[in-house]
Amino acid sequence: MLGHRKLDANDYVAILKRRRKLIAIPVVLLPLIAYGVTYLIPARYVSQALILIEGQRVSSEIAPSIVTQSLDSRLNSMSQQVLSRSQIQPIVLKYNLLPSKRLSMDDRVVLVRNAIGIKPIKPEVQRTGGLPGFFITFTASDAPTAQKVCADISSLFLTESLRNRQDAAEDTTTFLKQQVDDAKRDLDEHDAKLAAFQQKYVGKLPGQEVQNGTMLTSLNTQLSVQNQDLARLEQQKDMQQSMLAQELQQQQSTPATTVPGPNGAVTPLQFDYQQLAALQAKEAQLTSRYTPDYPDVVAIRRDITDLKAKIAKEPQQQAAAPAGPASAPRPSDSLGVIQLRAQVRGADILIQAKKKELEQTQATVALYQNRIESSPLVEEQFKDLNRDYDTAQKNYDDLLVKMNHAKMARDLESAQQGEQFRLMDEANLPEDPTFPNRQLFAAGGLFLGLAIGLALAAFLEYKDTALRTEQDVWAFTQLPTLAVIAYSGNVEVRHKKPGLFARFKAMFQRKTPPEMLSKAEG
């Protein structure tokens, strides 16, 4: 009566009682069939290995790691490398995996790749720095093959990890070395430009302004003193020339007291005066260039003192000497004239030296003035060169530090002190197949049989139009039931057990008895 009225719990219980055999048959048969099918399906064995990822043993503050990529990304990249055709095909040929004439080598490689599983282990504590490890599984039709292939795949991961890190360290070191060499050449070029600039503009560089100003002030003071000395020397020379002129006039009016040498030759006294004038001129030249303590100045002053003492003794010797003949010529100059002329000649030498010294000082003043005037432009150019040099120096220093870190990381990888993949659990030999799971198949058959049995019962109940209870009568006729007559049939017929086919046929062909229908209508 499933399609005639709403059913309650009693109706469902009644249906289960009536259809219990129909429900029980698939519930019993399908689990047995499913369990038997598992013996016909090829078994699949899964071997598993565990690889742990150990961090760098040396502190990253001492030797920073050159591998900055996350473990997830590196594991994905490494998986692609390990599962490539160049790695899988040798394993297929080694163990003759999936031998079939219908499968090409490409198909076999794809199937073997699909049979490999990589499952990362997520860290239990968040933000722990990456994956602690991962599982590697391989599925095969027999346990030994699954174990061997899983072991080979694990070995490939270990080898690939070590090779990748060593290659990364070596490539990084080589790259940084090239960069350091280029940075060194660039730094040398900037250094050469800076040195040439400093040599070209020596004295005009930044920081020398104060020194140049101080030097210019000192030179101006020195220039003023030299001008005063030059004026004094010129005044002294004018005075000496005036005295010389007066001495010459007096000499012309007074007869000479000196006696010339034989045949008009110069007397020793005149020679001494000439030598004294030469020494005084040389003294003036030396004092303009050296200090009074200079050895040459001291020596020439000593010679001048000795010569003056000698000249002072000459008149006494001449007075004691016999007089010459009256016809001997008189000297052209007196002793005073000779001294004055020597002094004038010495003054000329001093004035010329002072003028030369003054010219040199003026040139030096002009040089320092030019340095001060051109300092702003030179400072701007120097800043540009210095900025480029500092940039090149910083770049070189940074690259040099990075290269040292890369070399240290390469040494760590060579010593196997860096991050490593360690085989924690080797590939196991599976004892039971993972597929098919007989218990799971049997449970599935049980649930499927129950579902089929319930579906058949529901379908047959929906097709069944028999009126069995007062609710059925009310749902069919919408009339109240006056009385209910129990069914009484032939005992032999009631106890007769028809066949299964006949019972199913009767279920589908059962109709309401006409007398029950007429009674319900009355």
Alpha-carbon distances of 481 from 15, 319, 381, 476, 520, rounded to whole Å: 22, 197, 120, 12, 7
Q: Which long-range contacts (CB under 8 A, 24 or more apart) does 211-215 make?
A: 212/368, 212/371, 212/372, 212/375, 213/372, 215/368
Whose tokens are 């432009």? That residue is 377
Q: Which residues pair with 134 in a beta bridge?
A: 51, 120
Domain segments of the chain: what residues?
9-40+436-521, 209-320+331-401
Helix axes 143-200, 335-414, angle to 10 degrees: 170
Residue 452 near residue 192 (C-beta atoms within 8 A): no
**494: helix, strand or coil:** helix
Digit-by-digit pLDDT tens for the chain (522 residues) are 545 667 778 878 888 888 888 888 988 898 888 888 878 888 888 999 998 887 665 555 565 565 556 667 778 888 888 888 999 999 999 998 888 878 889 999 999 999 999 888 876 654 445 567 889 999 988 889 999 999 999 999 888 887 877 777 788 888 888 888 999 899 899 888 888 888 887 777 777 778 878 888 888 888 888 888 888 888 888 887 787 777 777 766 655 444 444 444 445 666 666 677 777 777 777 777 777 788 887 888 888 888 777 777 765 554 444 444 333 333 455 667 777 777 778 778 888 888 888 888 888 888 888 878 877 888 888 888 888 888 989 998 998 888 887 777 777 666 555 567 788 889 999 888 887 777 888 888 899 989 998 898 888 888 777 777 777 777 777 677 677 666 555 544 444 455 544 554 555 455 444 444 344 443
**138: helix, strand or coil:** strand
Helix axes 71-82, 143-200, angle to 10 degrees: 120
First-last CA distance in the chain: 22
317, 353, 348, 338: which is closest to 275 by C-alpha? 338
Q: 97-127 burial, b if ≥16 CB within 10 A, otherwise e?
A: bbeeeeeeeeebbeebeebbebebeeeeeee
ω into residue 436 within 30 of 0, thus cis?
yes
Residue 90 half-sphere exposure, CB side, CA atoms within 13 Å?
8
Residue 49 near residue 426 (C-beta atoms within 8 A): yes
68, 1, 155: which is closest to 419 by C-alpha? 68
